[in-house]
Amino acid sequence: MKEDNVNHPNHYTNGPKCPYCKNIIECITISEFFGFLLGNTIKYIWRNNLKGKQLEDLKKAKWYLEREINNLENLECTEK
């Protein structure tokens, strides 16, 4: 079977298994409910050791998280 690097690359489908049905839980199943910045934070943490660029992916997660924090801090400033 040919690998599908668009819809189902290995680093998308290499997640934990559901304890009940034993299907693999994909990152998108969780991250799509958190908005773009937090979803990307989750995505890069979830898959940080699957693509061979662990440090780079953790730095990307940090970047997205810091941007979310900055947005919330700026929102708080405008609400006062």
Its pTM stands at 0.76
pLDDT at 26: 85
**pLDDT-based confidence at 77, cuts 50/70/90?**
low
Contact 63, 53 (CB under 8 A): no
- Amino acid letter at 37? L
Question: Is the predicted pLDDT of residue 79 greater than 70, yes or no?
Answer: no
Cα-to-chain-centroid distance, residue 70: 19
DSSP 1-62: ----TTT--HHHH--PBPTTT-PBPPHHHHHTTSHHHHHHHHHHHHTTTTSS-HHHHHHHHH
Mind listing the pLDDT tens digit for each residue in 19-76?
999 888 888 888 999 999 999 999 999 989 888 899 999 999 999 999 999 999 998 6
pLDDT at 2: 74
